[in-house]
Amino acid sequence: MRSDLRPEAFRRLRRGRLGDPYLYVEECRSTQELVRDAALPEGAVAVTEHQTSGRGRLGRTWEDAAGSSLLCSVLLRPQGGALPQLSLVAALATAEAIEELTGGRALVKWPNDVLVDGLKVAGILLEQVEGAVVTGIGVNVGQESHELPAGTRTPAGSLRTVSGRGHDRGLVLAALLGRLEAAYGTWSGQGLEAILPALEGRNALRGLEVVVGGVQGVAAGIAPGGGLEVVLPSGATTVVESGEVEVQGSVDVGE
Ligand code: BTN
C-alpha cells in the first residue's frame, strides 16, 4: 500500500486551499507545536510520521505507530464562533472523509471522537493560540490490532482493522482537508445550525445511557449551540456544554 505523506506526493492529491503551506517532518514532539506560529496563514498544515509526545484531550497522550497514523494539525482563524463547535465541525469532516474512503459508517461521539463499529478511529484536539486555533486530528490508519493502545475509555480501532484493508494516508489527508474546508466554510458563514442535520445523522450517542458533566441520563440530540442534550430520569432535558461522556455499556454503532 502506497502511503506517502511527503510534500511531493501530497501536492498531487491536495483538494482545496487547506495545506498551504504544508509542513512535513519525519518526527516531532507534536504537530500541534509546528503551527503555533502567528506568522503562518490560515490553512497551514503540519504533518508527521511519528510524534514522540503526541497530545490528546484532557491532558492525555496520543499514541501512534510510526508510519501508520495520520497525525496532522491545521491552523484556523475562526471569526467568532464558539471553540467547542469547531471540534464538532472537525469531527464531522473527519467522519465524512473516513466514510468516503472506507465505506464504513463513521459516527461522531460528542464532542470530538470518530467511531466506526463502536471503535475510536480518530480524535480531535483544539488548542487556542493568539487569535488562531490549532486543530489537531489524529487518525489511526494502518495499525494492526496489537499496535493500537489498549485499555482506552472507548476501544481503539484503525481504518485497517475496521475495513480489513490498508489505506493510503495521503488520500485520507486529502479527503480530510477537503471535507474540513467545506464544513468549516459552512459553519463560518451560516453557523452550526447549517451542519446540525449532518452531525445529528452521525450522532453516536443518541439513545444511550450516559454520564456526562455531572448528570446521568439518556443522550439525545446535539443542541443548536453545540452542547449535548441529555434527558434526565425526571423526563426533563438538560444541555451539557462540555465534558467527557461515559457510556453505560458499549457504544452502539447507530443506524
Ligand atoms: C483525543 O482524542 O484525545 C484527541 C487526539 C488528537 C491527536 C492529534 S494527532 C495530531 C495532533 N498532534 C497532537 O499531539 N495531537 C493531535
Distance between CA atoms of residues 56 and 164, nearest Å: 26
The 10s digit of each residue's pLDDT in 221-236 is 999 999 999 999 999 9
Which ligand 1 atom minimizes the distance to the CA of 58?
Answer: 3
pLDDT band at 82 (very low <50, low <70, confident <90, very high): confident
Other CB atoms within 10 A of residue 59 CB: 6
36 Cβ inside 6 Å of ligand 1 = no
Report residue 182 CA to chain centroid gap: 15
pLDDT band at 177 (very low <50, low <70, confident <90, very high): very high
Mean pLDDT for 227-253 is 87
**pLDDT, position 151:** 87
| Span from the CA of 86 to the centroid of ligand 1 (angstroms) | 15
Report the share of the chain in percent with pLDDT over 70.
96
| Span from the CA of 139 to the centroid of ligand 1 (angstroms) | 9
**pLDDT, position 250:** 54
60 Cβ inside 6 Å of ligand 1 = yes
136 Cβ inside 6 Å of ligand 1 = yes
SS3 40: coil
| Highest mean pLDDT, choosing among 2-11, 79-88, 234-243 | 234-243
208-250, what's its fold? SH3 type barrels. (2.30.30)
**Residues composing the chain:** 255
138 Cβ inside 6 Å of ligand 1 = yes
Q: Could you tell me the pTM of the whole model?
A: 0.95
**pLDDT, position 249:** 67
135 Cβ inside 6 Å of ligand 1 = no
CATH superfamily of the domain spanning 7-200: Bira Bifunctional Protein; Domain 2 (3.30.930.10)
| Span from the CA of 249 to the centroid of ligand 1 (angstroms) | 25
The 10s digit of each residue's pLDDT in 29-57 is 999 999 999 899 999 999 999 999 999 99
Backbone angles phi, psi at 170, to 5 degrees: -65, -40
Do the domains spanning 7-200 and 208-250 agree at the CATH topology level?
no
Query: C-alpha grid cell for residue 124?
Result: 480531535
The 10s digit of each residue's pLDDT in 111-156 is 999 999 999 999 999 999 988 999 999 999 999 999 999 988 899 9
SS3 131: coil
Counting DSSP H helices and E strands in the chain, the numbers are 6, 12
22 Cβ inside 6 Å of ligand 1 = no
Ligand 1 atom 2 nearest Cα: 123
- pLDDT(81) > 80: no
Domains in the chain: boundaries: 7-200, 208-250
Ligand 1 atom 9 nearest Cα: 138
> Whole-number mean pLDDT of the chain?
94
**pLDDT, position 83:** 84
**pLDDT, position 252:** 47
DSSP state at residue 55: B
| Span from the CA of 104 to the centroid of ligand 1 (angstroms) | 22
